[in-house]
Amino acid sequence: SWQKVLGGEGAHGILILSPRAIERLESYSPSWPMPKVFRLTKGGKLIKGIFQGATINTPSMIAVEDYLDALKWADQMGGVEGLIKTSEANLNIVRQWVEETPWASFLAKEPATISPTSICLSIDGLEGDQLKTMTKLLEEQNVAVDIGSYRDAPAGLRIWGGATVENSDMKKLMPWLTWAYNEAKSA
């Protein structure tokens, strides 16, 4: 996924089937229509080309061109080393702000497990819906969108710190976090 700086969970994967699974695929035909990407049999037989590198679903050429642009951008950023450097600098900006902010801390307690890309923060001192107010204020000001922690995660903030975020923008975010916290706390 290009949004994840040339890596992520999308687009490519691996499928491993046991002999029993193949037998089941070849002996069962669902009564509902199956999307092409999920069809592993044709005429009651496994489509072996899928497991030998055949294309299941042709990617859009605009998507391929977009990926080529992303690769050129990554090269201009200094390749993998440059992308990592940008992401680590973003984490250091947040780290400095956390050190200066008594109500913010990293969700990960072990420094080695703090991600420089998906930076998760715990926010103390806000009650009930105040954290939602904080994230809503940031969105209303066009500062940050979808910055709240995931539904099943502890309450807090989730900041994308990957190389697609310029260090200057990460620096601009920090005072906004303080502002939104103070506004939510006083509401």
pLDDT in tens, 168-182: 999 999 999 999 999
Report yes or no: 151 and 135 within 8 Å, Cβ to Cβ.
no
Instruction: Work out the average pLDDT over 133-160.
Output: 93
Q: At what angle do helices 79-100 and 167-186 cross, to 10 degrees?
A: 30
For 101-124, what is each residue's pLDDT tens digit?
Answer: 999 999 999 999 999 999 999 999
Give Cα 127 distance to the centre of its chain.
Answer: 27
pLDDT number for residue 107: 96
Higher pLDDT, 122 or 150: 122
For 60-101, what is each residue's pLDDT tens digit?
Answer: 667 677 778 888 999 999 999 999 999 999 999 999 999 999
Q: Pseudo-torsion of CA 78, 145, 138, 167, nearest 10°?
A: 0
pLDDT number for residue 6: 64
pLDDT number for residue 9: 47
Q: Is the pLDDT of residue 166 over 60?
A: yes
User: Of 166, 7, 1, which is closest to residue 77 (Cα–Cα)?
Assistant: 166
pLDDT number for residue 65: 77
pLDDT number for residue 68: 82
Alpha-carbon distances of 168 from 94, 104, 147, 162, rounded to whole Å:
12, 21, 18, 13
- The pTM (predicted TM-score) of the whole model is 0.71
